[in-house]
Amino acid sequence: MRSTPDFRDPAFLQQHLLQTMAFYDDRCVDPSGGLYQFYRDDGSVYDHTTRHLVSSTRFVVTHAMMARRFPAHPRAAHWRDTARHALRFVQDVHRDEASGGYLWLLRWRNGQCEAVDATQHAYGLAFVLLAQAQAVLAGLEEARPALQQTLALMEQRFWEPATGLYADEAGPGWALRPYRGQNANMHACEALMAAHEATGDAFCLQRAHTLAQHVTQTLAGRCHGWVWEHFHTDWTPDWDFNRHDPANLFRPWGYQVGHWTEWAKLLLTLERLSPDDADTGWMLPRARELFAAAVHLGWDNAHGGLVYGLGPLGDPATDTHLKVSDGDKYHWVQAETLAAAAALAQRTGEGGYWDWYDRIWAYAWRHFVDHDHGAWYRILGPDNRKLTDEKSPAGKVDYHNLGACHEVLDTLAR
């Protein structure tokens, strides 16, 4: 029987970071450009050519954060060099010179790029900005001019002043498409806070405030107080978008409990970064509400863990009763929620949040952490059975669980 560690011990969290990164070290770098993005449980690469913008940028983030966390570690220079290598691929290959945007999906063969999907996504630009900000924080100063360019591009192409939110998607010629979503704005909020930390630019923090308030208050006010995912062009809820596809990778139908706790975490970060701002009094209460709803409605009492999605029991426009719409367990939901629990525990001094932190970590330690090969499994069934041997397909790179460990370490240090 594997012993249960002290999940609040900084030494445990540091060791877990190193063990998780070891899954990728020495096998992730493609010398011809970028990083491989598709891994099976044992670490073998099963697709050498497909490159997704989300994975490409998240690899910059994970390696830059490790270089910052462990500056004296023997692999610190390797992580910084890998972050630089990954960033160069984002800037030189994903960036589309013709449009000024970034290719969402491409194939990379023998040093040649083939565009597969050139759609422009605000979600993608948010991660480009986050990667550039984390690179600057890790000492890669070459990322600073590109960071300012990405900020300007997001404002020029996606910002909608009338609503105080970013549009979501653009086709050829930057023509905006009708879909609007909260997910791109949530990650834009995250990226803007990182950009503020990297540059000191007050605009980034002000913009993050605006996004947080409009998503977690204004939009949620149209959705029974909860954060819904999908909206029409006028930002009224689109209750039917992807109703047939509750497991969609980036736009699943239903309420996402992991996004409720992710917003709780972001609100506390925003509050902490804004000590002189009078308009922060609502952030802690809102973070508490979102976290409480997520764990009480989303926790699986039979098998443990937080489910993926919740859907309205009846007419979504009027019914406030929710049911499980997707009972699968996703790694990122557990990771974001334990990070939020630690942040709330530190902010409030209430032990009940630490209880949730320990409960979620114990569940993840038992079911998600691969103690043989390293890293976390991506997805499990409702009864915690493995559904696939694809540990890290496009988009994962263990960004959420690595990030959660970094954030909890910072929380404990405070």
User: Catalytic: which of 230, 331, 400, 406?
Assistant: 400
Q: Which of 16, 85, 121, 259 is catalytic?
A: 259
259 flagged as catalytic = yes
In the residue annotation, 303 being an active-site residue is answered as no
| Amino acid residing at 83 | A
Which active-site residues does the annotation give?
259, 400
